[in-house]
């Protein structure tokens, strides 16, 4: 295969690649080799991977190729290279959680998500860089280095699933699995120009995934198109007896719905109604980002999706509820290490964990009461709507050394700025999906992606995917969101 065609292959979606694999126009062996070559070329600069599984990926690709030749094609992920955030357990593979403490930890079993991916024929090619213990939103990591944004390598990727987003954005893998406790799938997806879904709490098993705050941890996919998100979600979703937080509910056939093989009257009609909250979500936002959001709404309406303003109550309680739950549960998870291995944490992580140690039982219990009030308020707001639409991030990707940003003459901490609009959907457990909305111009005229969130009712990811797919197919978003060629970037030391 020629070098130019190899690069083109890496920019294709899973939907396109699966067709090529199923018709044997490209083999899993060739595709995995192309992915490994791309990783070797770009990872020294972008730092998306902590561990690359060259040998096992090649072996698994050969097995996939033989099965497909024998007519045993397993579906759209068969032979597709996939990467994982480095806190999702793979048997026999080092799982660091981006930390020094777990730098030599090797799980003895596969997580449920990994087992399902393997059963579907996906090829695990490596473990993606993450903010230490997923305890942050920048992916600036003192132990393994920081992942860099493919759209501007002087800027952060966002996190904590930053390495996952960088891997997909830069064409190292067509999809990755991340986790989301405060926005950690959606934020890097927004900053790197990708689709990223935080499913409903309980839709995807957390068994075999390092905990951060168990009652608000979510697992979900990052990919280049809506259809790709649907295909991966189809594979990893469902009840798991090993995780009592999973819901024993049927999993819709997400990908077949988007292919139009089922009822599809709503795909080209104005059936979908989307509410845009009047409160909170637009109180503090960069004016350039706001312009992108306004343009996105216009484009969505041109696709036949109606939008209108809606009131949402209880938004003033979001931070207090999230803070006590997120910090308190994280401190409980790390309590033993905080006492015995404090010096092995990065500074920003230990500070956050120690704040969690100060959360009282009263604060924690009240926070859970608040989260139910907030969830009820959002469900009430969605009574007459299929989904809500809000920004994902109020700023584009900050520079790597930025600790604060100035928004309309208001100075705010980077963590607070990036997570401001995402945490509420972790504490409520509602499904929320980042959809690439457009670009603003950064320094040196670099394009910087910005995303919006589509937010749905519990276990109604299907509607979010349908709305997103209408937009995605109409504007061919997956073709727009390919970063400039970075293969010749000089490696940073």
Q: How far apart are CA 75 and CA 175, in angstroms?
A: 15
CA distances from 348 to 8, 132, 149, 336, 434 (A): 40, 9, 21, 18, 26
pLDDT tens figures, 212-243: 999 999 999 999 999 999 999 999 999 999 99
The three-state secondary structure class of 393 is coil
Domains in the chain, number = 1
Residue 266, pLDDT score: 45
Q: How far apart are CA 53 and CA 41, in angstroms?
A: 15
pLDDT tens figures, 125-156: 999 999 999 999 999 999 999 999 999 999 99
Residue 492, pLDDT score: 40
pLDDT band at 8 (very low <50, low <70, confident <90, very high): confident
Residue 257, pLDDT score: 82
For the segment 19-29, the average pLDDT, to the nearest whole number, is 97
For the segment 439-450, the average pLDDT, to the nearest whole number, is 83
CATH of the domain at 150: 3.90.1300.10
pLDDT over 90 (residue 407): yes
pLDDT tens figures, 352-373: 999 999 999 999 999 999 999 9
Residue 267, pLDDT score: 43
Is the residue at 360 inside a domain? no
Residue 6, pLDDT score: 61
Which residue has better confidence, 266 or 23? 23
Is the residue at 370 inside a domain? no
Nearest residue to 201 via CA among 371, 62, 3: 371
pLDDT band at 290 (very low <50, low <70, confident <90, very high): very high
Which residue has better confidence, 438 or 5? 438
The first and second tokens of residue 137, run together, are 């939103």
Nearest residue to 334 via CA among 319, 322, 350, 358: 350
Nearest residue to 418 via CA among 399, 433, 396: 396
Please identify which of the residues 99, 160, 164, 321 carries the catalytic annotation.
Answer: 160
Phi then psi for 300, rounded to 5 degrees? -65, -40
Q: How far is CA 387 from the centre of its chain?
A: 19
Longest dimension (CA), the chain: 64
pLDDT over 90 (residue 261): no
Please identify which of the residues 15, 27, 85, 147 carries the catalytic annotation.
Answer: 85
pLDDT over 90 (residue 11): no
Contacts of 244 (CB under 8 A, 6+ apart): none
Q: Are 32 and 125 in contact (CB under 8 A)?
A: yes
Residue 48, pLDDT score: 98
Which residue has better confidence, 266 or 190? 190
Residue 3, pLDDT score: 44
Contacts of 335 (CB under 8 A, 6+ apart): 357
205 is catalytic: no
Residue 474, pLDDT score: 95
- Count the neighbouring beta carbons within 10 Å of the beta carbon of residue 5: 11
pLDDT band at 258 (very low <50, low <70, confident <90, very high): confident
pLDDT band at 458 (very low <50, low <70, confident <90, very high): very high
Is the residue at 431 inside a domain? yes
Number of H helices, E strands in the chain: 17, 15
Please identify which of the residues 95, 99, 157, 184 carries the catalytic annotation.
Answer: 184
- Count the neighbouring beta carbons within 10 Å of the beta carbon of residue 339: 9
Is the residue at 74 inside a domain? yes
Residue 441, pLDDT score: 79
Residue numbers of the domain that contains 301: 3-312+379-480
116 is catalytic: no
- Tokens 């320094």 -> residue: 443
pLDDT band at 444 (very low <50, low <70, confident <90, very high): low
Is the residue at 372 inside a domain? no
Is the residue at 420 inside a domain? yes
184 is catalytic: yes
Q: Are 167 and 49 in contact (CB under 8 A)?
A: yes
Is the residue at 361 inside a domain? no
Q: How far apart are CA 173 and CA 161, in angstroms?
A: 14
pLDDT tens figures, 262-276: 444 444 444 899 999
pLDDT tens figures, 47-106: 999 999 999 999 999 999 999 999 999 999 999 999 999 999 999 999 999 999 999 999
Percent of the chain whose predicted confidence (pLDDT) is above 70: 94
Q: Are 116 and 84 in contact (CB under 8 A)?
A: no
Residue 446, pLDDT score: 81
């Amino acid at each position: 295969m020629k070098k130019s065609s190899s690069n083109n292959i890496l920019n294709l979606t899973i939907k396109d690649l699966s067709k090529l694999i199923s018709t044997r126009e490209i083999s899993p062996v060739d595709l995995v080799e192309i992915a490994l070559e791309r990783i070797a070329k770009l990872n020294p600069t972008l730092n998306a991977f902590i561990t690359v599984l060259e040998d096992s990926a090649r072996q698994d690709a050969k097995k996939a190729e033989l099965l497909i030749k024998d007519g045993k094609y397993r579906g759209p992920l068969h032979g597709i290279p996939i990467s994982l955030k480095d806190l999702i357990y793979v048997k026999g593979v080092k799982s660091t959680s981006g930390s020094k403490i777990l730098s030599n930890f090797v799980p003895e079993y596969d997580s449920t998500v990994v087992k399902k991916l393997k059963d579907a024929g996906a090829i695990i090619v490596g473990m993606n860089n993450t903010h230490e213990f997923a305890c942050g939103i920048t992916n600036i990591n003192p132990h393994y280095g920081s992942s860099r944004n493919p759209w501007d390598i002087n800027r952060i990727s966002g996190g904590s699933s930053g390495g996952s987003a960088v891997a997909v954005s830069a064409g190292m893998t067509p999809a990755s699995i991340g986790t989301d406790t405060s926005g950690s799938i959606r934020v890097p997806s927004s900053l790197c120009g990708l689709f990223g879904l935080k499913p409903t709490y309980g839709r995807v098993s957390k068994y075999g995934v390092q905990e951060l705050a168990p009652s608000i941890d979510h697992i979900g996919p990052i990919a280049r198109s809506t259809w790709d998100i649907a295909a991966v979600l189809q594979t990893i979703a469902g009840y798991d007896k090993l995780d009592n937080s999973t819901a024993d509910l049927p999993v819709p056939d997400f990908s077949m719905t988007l292919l139009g093989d089922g009822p599809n009257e709503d795909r080209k009609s104005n059936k979908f109604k989307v509410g845009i909250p009047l409160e909170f979500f637009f109180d503090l936002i960069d004016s350039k980002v706001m312009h992108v959001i306004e343009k996105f709404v216009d484009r969505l309406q041109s696709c036949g999706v109606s939008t209108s303003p809606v009131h949402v109550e209880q938004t003033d309680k979001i931070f207090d509820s999230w803070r006590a739950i997120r910090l308190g549960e994280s401190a409980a998870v790390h309590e033993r290490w905080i006492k015995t291995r404090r010096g092995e944490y990065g500074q920003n992580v230990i500070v956050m964990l120690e704040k969690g140690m100060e959360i009282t039982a009263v604060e924690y219990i009240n926070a859970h009461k608040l989260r139910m009030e907030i969830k009820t308020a959002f469900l009430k707001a969605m009574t007459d709507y299929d989904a809500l639409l809000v920004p994902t991030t109020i700023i584009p990707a900050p520079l790597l050394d930025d600790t604060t940003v100035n928004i309309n003459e208001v100075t705010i901490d980077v963590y607070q700025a990036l997570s401001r609009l995402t945490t509420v959907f972790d504490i409520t457990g509602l499904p929320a999906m980042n959809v690439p909305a457009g670009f603003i111009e950064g320094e040196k005229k670099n394009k910087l992606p910005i995303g919006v969130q589509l937010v749905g009712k519990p276990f109604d990811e299907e509607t979010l995917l349908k709305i997103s797919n209408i937009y995605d197919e109409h504007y061919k978003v997956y073709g727009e969101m390919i970063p400039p060629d970075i293969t010749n970037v000089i490696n940073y030391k």
